Every structure is written in C-alpha cells, then in structure tokens.
C-alpha cells in the first residue's frame, strides 16, 4: 500500500499547471517507537558499563539488555554531532561546520540545518510517527521570541518541544522554550527544581498524551539532556554519595578505570593506556587546597551524571509500565568526548573562560565556597585532569579530532533484532550512521522531497547489520573529521590526525598517524615509520573534505588562549548598526547579537522614559549572576552594573538623581582593548557618571532583555526580574563600526535624537 503526497506544481498559469505528487509508503506494520537519548560532553569512560566507578544503573541496564559499541565516533563538538545525528549526513554538508553559533556565511556554516537534509523527525512524520523533542537544541542561530521559527524544533519536524535552544543550560535557572514560546520554569529551586527532571517530566508527558489519544501510532522522541555539559549541577544528596570516592586523585582513578574497562571487555585486552594528557599536572604535585577543590569538582560531576541516569530510568520504567519498552528502539550516546574547558584548575564559574592552558585564581575562588559547588550559586566545570579520566584510555578532549574528542559511548537496545544482549560491538561507525540505521530497521527510504524541497542523500551507512551479527565485517571504511581546524581521517584501520588548536598557521600543523586497528587507544604515532601511508591518508582527507564541503575551514577555537581568540575576532569587520524600538510597555527579550552586538564591541543605549520618584527597575540587561550587565534605576539614580563572571562586580552610579517627567537616559560602552572598557552615563545629554569595568570571557546565558532582568539578577542590589515600573517610550541601540572608538561618535550621538 502507498499514498500520494503533494510536493508542488509545474506551470506559470492555472491552465498549464501540473500537480506533482510523490508516492509515500504507509507506516510499516508493527513499526517500533524510536528514542534517541543524547548526553552532552560525556567521555567514553564515564559510564559504569564503560568502566567508571560512577553509579549509572539505568544506562547500564540498557547496555545489559542491548549492545555497547567501542568503536563509535562523533564530530568532537555538540552542534555538529546533533546535525549528523538528526540528518544522517556529515555536518559540513548540512551547514554546521562546528558550533551553530559560529557561522561563516559559507555553505558549511549557515547557522542551521540545510532544509535539503531533512531531520529524522521530518522523515518519520511522513510515515505517520508522532515526533517529540525535549532538552537541548543548539541547532539554530535565531533566538528571537517573535521568530522566525523555521530552524527551531517545530520547524524541523517535531510536533511538540520543551527545552532550551542555547548551547548550555543553568540546571537551576534555564532559559526554557515550549514549542515556539519562551516560558518560565514551573517551580523554584527551593521547591526542588532541576532542569533534567523537568525535561524528563515533559518527555514522559508527551508520550502519555500520545499513547492515550493515538495508541496505534508509533512515536519518535529526541531526548537531549543538558547534562553533563557545564555547569555541573546536581541535588546535594547525589553529590554526597561520592564523598571521598575520588580522594586518591586522577592518576590512580584513571588507572582503575582502565583496568575496569579491560575486565568488563569494553576495550581490547591488548589496549594500552595513553600518557597523562597535556596540561594536566601529576596529582602528587598538587597542593592540599588544589586537591580539595579538584576532588569536590569530581564528586559534583559524578552526582550530576548519576542524577541524569535516574531521569533516564524514569523514562525506561514508564515505557515498561505501558508495555512499550520492548517495542522501542532506544539509542543512547554522547555528543563528544569529555571537555577540558575547565582548564587546569577547574572553574567555580565556568563561563569565565574555556582555555585548556589557563591557570587563574580558581582554587582561591573555590576553596572557601566548596559547600556551594554544584548548587545554584555555582556554575562549575571540573579541571582537565578529570576530563582526561573520563576519556580513558584516550588522549585529548572535546574539540580535538583525537579519540578523546571523537570516540564516545553508543548503546542500542532493541530486542526485536538483538539476539545476544550484553555484547560489545567493535565495528567502526560514526554518528551520521544512526538515522540511516533507523530507516533500515523500519524498511523504508528517505523521501525524495520533504516540505516541497528536494532531498539530498544520506552520507551515513546503516549499522543495522551489527545488531544482527557481532562478527560481521565493517561496512564503514572512510570517515573524515574537522572542527575548527582540528582534523583527521580514518580509513580501514588507519587514522591520520592534526591538532590545530595551538597553531597560528595550517602550514605549521604536524600530522600524526595511528594504526588504530592494532593501537586501539591511539597511543603510538607512527608517522615517521610509515610516511607513504600518512601521505595516502592526507590525500584521502582532501578528497573527503572536497566531497563534504569542509572548505573553507573556520577559525580556531578559544581553547588555546583568550588573546588568540580576541585577536582573530578583532579582525572581523563589524559594521555600524542602529536599532530603534518603541512603546515597550512589557519586558521584551531580543536575540542579542542577531539584533545588535554588545559583546566585545563599543556601543550605546539611549532611552526616553517617563520617570517619577517611585519609578525603579531594570531598563536594559543581559546575563545573570554569573556574568552580564544591567542598566537600571534604583533610589532615583541611574546605574550601570557589570558582573565580570561573578568575580568582580562594578556598579557605576549617576552623581545626580533623575528628574521627574520625561527624561533621556543613556550609557556609552567604549571598549578600550582586550581587558577593559569605559562606561559613561548621561541624563538628558549631560554626563552624569563614569567608570571603568574589567572585561570577561563571555556572558553566561540569555539574550538582551528590555525593562527587566529575568532568571537571576546581575547584581545582588536588587532581586530578579526587577521590572521597570516607569514608562519607556523608545530605545535606541547603536553599535559602532569595527575599529572605531565610541568617543568618535559621541558628539553626534548626543545631538541625534
């Protein structure tokens, strides 16, 4: 049986119009439900069933009743992996070269998924599946509450959505979206709120509604947790379970986990442990304070992962209770290897930076606040030494094309095909292979058109054959890697790889070569022994890069150094831009840089307000208690508060009170260089205050909000959202052309209204 789908017309007039249809197969008989469960920044070794001592009984159950893969690979970074997972194609092909936020305007960096590569949700809807998404999206560069929504989940084939669009999620105060609307969290932290629990509640509710209304229909659920991406947040009871468990330090724990991996058979017996990763100090060389802080970081991380496992358990038990568990293909994976963005010392406030090499005052900052670590007044990320442990037995981390960045856990549970549950599969595969696998299991093909758009084929290779036959020969022979200049190529048991993170020139990059068929952990660089093989793989990389639109490669990541990142960013031409908004009688959230850039550039904000002695509140803000700024009125005075990642707070206050009635208020943010900016306040074009603020790495979360500071307050002198109680007639946002100083525009600004 089949049905016809309308895909468009041919012809210029009504008389000569030809209606075009495509034959679509009916839903396959007894089609299973499909669930993708995706964790964030979790390394190969972090799960109990992959060798760790972290308690993950529910994920371990999936492994015991399904299959574990020990040769499965991702892209080394979140947006790119998610694009591959949902489309079945390589990430450059679909338009997401690395992070969706770092778009280039080229075909491989368009800031969203190319519609020619439909998502699995769009595909399965053609076969009468219900489709749900819950959790992290991070596949759009559009955050405007008024749209466009075509790159949000509902625009990409999902019928219902609840989660967050951003790269990261404060688990206690997330920026939540339901369908196409920003919403407040349903309860407070004091009432027990945690985003992972909230996301799971909604995922279960989606299935509950669907199975009670349309029990005959299968469903697809994409459940993408913010865990275990920073900030590492967990209920205290979960953190307390790991007290003292990591006191022996990362060198000993890494050895223990490595031996566990061999004992449970997740890695080959002949595998060797790679050396301690660069930028990780030997545990025995650390001070007592360092050890205290670093141990607590890992206790928090372990609690975070176990808490996430408990939420996955809730979903498993719900499916079991409605007799749908065995009729569901469950695919569990991580989007990349463990992250070293905490640097050598970890971070009490992770949005302070992401440089692997950094040594700052993190231990000094955290040592007196250890009891807060993992709670709502922290924003933590563990040090790179623990990332090295979570990537056991491999070297390097997230972002890198080495195995520590790209080899990740994959668990598939589906009794309908798996006859040897609990087994380990060793065939080489890539995240782009998973959606082709699902269609292969269903016995259907990707439609030629979706939403009237001609579809391009998968680049992935189905791994269904591995479910049925553990001894089958590999069917995936070649796979390239490239993220922010870090690149690699796998071909038939050999891998060539380049670490570009710390290089200023592609010409200076040095290729490494590994025979991964015999050197499982990628320990021995044999480039000098096999120069011809290295040359062969280099040529293969260029062939695959050409086929998959890898060029031009994007600029390097900020992991090497803040100075390098800002130097590169400073070379980008930012045009002068001006936005004029009127009649803002309610809080309004802008999209941030999509409307006007305020991070790293000079700009001004000018407002005409109606003020009286009782009027107070936030006029303009971005960020939260972990970093951001706020322009507000309090005690009849004008304030500009700047929160430098929770470490330094600046409050520049006007030296005169605001007059009653209509008044123009303004501030000019004049960036002076890499480290500081001068801020000048104006009342009716008179200078009313001035000060200097220290710049910080980047703003923690959220977009610009006019007349409120949502979620958490930038400065503790008020309580969020501190909505402005006066009237705002209009707002002028003005950013200045790249390379120019705000002062050069000041005279014109003061007279242009």
* Structural domain spans, the chain: 28-267+302-340+403-460, 480-567, 575-752
Q: Are strands 67-69 and 72-73 parallel, antiparallel or unpaired?
A: unpaired
What pTM was computed for the model?
0.92
- Report the pLDDT value the prediction gives residue 168, as an integer from 0 to 100: 87
Stretch among 30-39, 111-120, 234-243, 559-568 having the lowest mean pLDDT? 559-568
Decide if pLDDT at 588 tops 60.
yes
- Report the pLDDT value the prediction gives residue 598, as an integer from 0 to 100: 66
Decide if pLDDT at 294 tops 50.
yes
Decide if pLDDT at 323 tops 90.
yes
Q: Which helix (H) or strand (E) holds 358?
A: none
Average pLDDT over residues 138-158: 93
- Mean pLDDT estimate for the chain: 90
- Residue 40 has which token pair? 């964030």
What's the CATH code, domain 480-567? 3.30.1120.10
- Report the pLDDT value the prediction gives residue 500, as an integer from 0 to 100: 92
- Report the pLDDT value the prediction gives residue 574, as an integer from 0 to 100: 55
Reduced to 3 states (helix: H, G, I; strand: E, B; else coil), residue 313 is helix
Place of tokens 């050895």: 255
Alpha-carbon distance of 438 to 414, in angstroms, equals: 11
Pick 575-752's CATH classification: 3.20.20.10, 2.60.120.200, 3.50.30.60, 2.60.40.3670.
Answer: 2.60.120.200
Average pLDDT over residues 391-413: 97
Comparison of pLDDT for 349 and 335, the residue scoring more: 335
- Report the pLDDT value the prediction gives residue 745, as an integer from 0 to 100: 45
Alpha-carbon distance of 245 to 243, in angstroms, equals: 6
Q: How confident is the model at residue 570 (pLDDT cuts 50, 70, 90)?
A: very low
Stretch among 98-107, 363-372, 594-603 having the lowest mean pLDDT? 594-603
Alpha-carbon distance of 496 to 533, in angstroms, equals: 9
Decide if pLDDT at 596 tops 80.
no
Percentage of residues in the chain with pLDDT exceeding 90? Answer: 77
Are 646 and 626 within 8 A, CB to CB?
Answer: yes
Reduced to 3 states (helix: H, G, I; strand: E, B; else coil), residue 480 is strand
| Cis amide prior to 148 (ω within 30 degrees) | yes
Are 731 and 706 within 8 A, CB to CB?
Answer: yes
Q: Which CATH class is domain 28-267+302-340+403-460?
A: alpha beta
- Report the pLDDT value the prediction gives residue 597, as an integer from 0 to 100: 59
- Report the pLDDT value the prediction gives residue 76, as an integer from 0 to 100: 97
Average pLDDT over residues 353-380: 86
Q: Which own/partner contact pairs does 365-370 have at CB distance under 8 Å and 24+ positions apart?
A: 365/647, 366/293, 366/296, 367/289, 367/292, 367/293, 370/292, 370/293, 370/296
Alpha-carbon distance of 568 to 559, in angstroms, equals: 13
Q: Which residues pair with 650 in a beta bridge?
A: 642
CA distances from 57 to 41, 307, 312, 447, 452 (A): 19, 11, 10, 39, 45
Decide if pLDDT at 573 tops 50.
no
261 HSE (CA, 13 A, CB side): 32
Closest by Cα among 125, 201, 199 to 156: 125
Are 337 and 76 within 8 A, CB to CB?
Answer: yes
- Report the pLDDT value the prediction gives residue 656, as an integer from 0 to 100: 95
Average pLDDT over residues 372-395: 97
Instruction: Count Cβ atoms below 10 Å from residue 681 Cβ, excluding itself.
Output: 24
Are 219 and 328 within 8 A, CB to CB?
Answer: no
Q: How confident is the model at residue 57 (pLDDT cuts 50, 70, 90)?
A: very high
- Report the pLDDT value the prediction gives residue 12, as an integer from 0 to 100: 59
CA distances from 281 to 84, 93, 290, 386, 528 (A): 35, 39, 11, 11, 29
Are 400 and 503 within 8 A, CB to CB?
Answer: no
Condensed to tens digits (0 to 9), the pLDDT of residues 296-312 reads: 999 999 999 999 999 99
Alpha-carbon distance of 76 to 482, in angstroms, equals: 9
Indicate the DSSP class of residue 588: E
- Report the pLDDT value the prediction gives residue 571, as an integer from 0 to 100: 43
- Report the pLDDT value the prediction gives residue 26, as an integer from 0 to 100: 64
Condensed to tens digits (0 to 9), the pLDDT of residues 660-684 reads: 999 999 999 988 776 788 999 999 9
Comparison of pLDDT for 321 and 741, the residue scoring more: 321
- Report the pLDDT value the prediction gives residue 20, as an integer from 0 to 100: 63
- Report the pLDDT value the prediction gives residue 180, as an integer from 0 to 100: 97
Percentage of residues in the chain with pLDDT exceeding 70? Answer: 88
Are 373 and 382 within 8 A, CB to CB?
Answer: no
Are 283 and 251 within 8 A, CB to CB?
Answer: yes
Average pLDDT over residues 552-569: 56
Are 379 and 226 within 8 A, CB to CB?
Answer: no
Condensed to tens digits (0 to 9), the pLDDT of residues 460-499 reads: 999 999 999 999 999 999 999 999 999 999 999 999 999 9
Condensed to tens digits (0 to 9), the pLDDT of residues 695-738 reads: 875 555 567 899 999 989 999 999 999 999 999 999 998 877 55
Average pLDDT over residues 432-454: 97
């Amino acid at each position: 049986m089949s049905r016809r789908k309308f895909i468009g017309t041919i012809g210029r007039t009504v008389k000569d119009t030809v209606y075009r249809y495509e034959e679509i197969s009916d839903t396959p008989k007894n089609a299973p439900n499909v669930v993708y469960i995706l964790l964030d920044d979790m390394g190969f070794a972090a799960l109990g069933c992959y060798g760790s001592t972290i308690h993950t009984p529910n994920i371990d159950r999936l492994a015991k009743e399904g299959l574990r893969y020990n040769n499965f690979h991702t892209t080394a970074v979140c947006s790119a992996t998610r694009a591959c997972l949902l489309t079945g194609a390589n990430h450059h092909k679909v338009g997401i070269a690395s992070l969706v936020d770092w778009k280039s305007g080229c075909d491989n960096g368009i800031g969203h998924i190319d519609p020619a590569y439909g998502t699995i949700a769009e595909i399965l809807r053609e076969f009468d599946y219900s489709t749900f998404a819950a959790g992290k999206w991070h596949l759009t560069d559009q955050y405007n509450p008024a749209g466009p929504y075509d790159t949000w989940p509902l625009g990409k084939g999902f019928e219902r959505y609840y989660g967050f669009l951003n790269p990261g999620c404060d688990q206690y105060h997330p920026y939540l979206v339901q369908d196409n609307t920003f919403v407040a969290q349903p309860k407070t932290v004091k009432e027990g709120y945690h985003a992972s629990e909230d996301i799971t509640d909604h995922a279960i509710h989606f299935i509950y509604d669907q199975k009670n209304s349309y029990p005959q229909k299968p469903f697809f659920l994409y459940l993408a947790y913010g865990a275990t991406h920073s900030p590492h947040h967990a209920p205290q009871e979960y953190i307390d379970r790991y007290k003292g468990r990591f006191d022996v330090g990362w060198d000993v724990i890494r050895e223990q986990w490595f031996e566990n991996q061999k004992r449970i058979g997740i890695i080959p017996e002949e595998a060797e442990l790679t050396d301690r990763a660069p930028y990780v100090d030997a545990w025995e060389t650390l001070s007592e304070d360092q050890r205290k802080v670093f141990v607590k970081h890992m206790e928090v991380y372990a609690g975070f992962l176990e808490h996430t496992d408990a939420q996955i358990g809730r979903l498993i038990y719900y499916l079991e209770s409605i007799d749908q568990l065995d009729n569901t293909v469950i695919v569990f994976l991580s989007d990349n290897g463990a992250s070293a963005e905490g640097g050598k010392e970890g971070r009490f406030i992770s949005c302070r930076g992401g440089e692997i090499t950094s040594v700052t005052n993190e231990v000094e900052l955290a040592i007196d606040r250890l009891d807060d670590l993992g709670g709502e007044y922290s924003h933590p990320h563990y040090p790179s030494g623990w990332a090295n442990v979570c990537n056991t037995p491999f070297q390097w981390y997230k972002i890198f094309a080495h195995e520590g960045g790209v080899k990740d856990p994959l668990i598939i549970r589906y009794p309908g095909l798996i006859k040897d549950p609990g087994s380990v599969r060793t065939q080489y595969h890539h995240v782009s292979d998973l959606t082709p696998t699902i269609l292969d299991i269903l016995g259907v093909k990707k439609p030629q058109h979706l939403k009237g758009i001609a579809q391009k084929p998968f680049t992935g290779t189905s791994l269904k054959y591995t479910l049925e036959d553990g001894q089958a020969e590999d069917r995936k022979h070649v796979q390239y890697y490239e993220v922010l200049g870090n690149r690699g190529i796998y071909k038939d048991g050999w891998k060539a790889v380049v670490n570009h993170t710390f290089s200023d020139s592609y010409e200076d990059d040095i290729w490494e070569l590994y025979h991964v068929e015999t050197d499982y952990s990628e320990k021995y660089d044999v480039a000098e022994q096999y120069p011809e093989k290295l040359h062969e793989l280099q040529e293969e990389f260029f062939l695959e890069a050409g086929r998959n639109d890898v060029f031009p490669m994007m600029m390097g990541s900020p992991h090497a150094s803040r100075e390098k990142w800002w130097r590169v960013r400073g070379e980008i031409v930012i045009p002068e831009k001006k936005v004029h908004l009127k009649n803002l009688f309610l809080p309004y959230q802008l999209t941030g840089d999509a409307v006007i850039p305020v991070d790293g550039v000079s700009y001004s904000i000018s407002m005409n307000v109606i003020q009286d002695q009782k009027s107070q509140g936030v006029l303009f803000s971005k960020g939260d208690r972990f970093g951001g700024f706020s322009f507000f009125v309090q005690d009849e005075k004008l304030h500009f508060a700047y929160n430098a990642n929770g470490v330094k707070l600046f409050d520049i206050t006007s030296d005169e009170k605001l007059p009653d009635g209509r008044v123009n208020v303004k501030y000019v943010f004049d960036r002076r260089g890499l480290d500081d900016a001068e801020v000048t306040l104006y009342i009716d074009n008179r200078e009313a205050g001035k000060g200097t603020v220290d710049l910080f790495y980047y703003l923690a979360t959220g977009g610009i909000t006019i007349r409120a500071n949502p979620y958490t307050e930038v400065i503790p002198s008020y309580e969020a959202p501190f909505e402005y109680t006066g009237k705002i007639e209009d707002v002028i946002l003005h950013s200045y052309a790249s390379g120019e100083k705000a002062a050069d525009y000041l005279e014109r600004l003061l007279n242009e209204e």
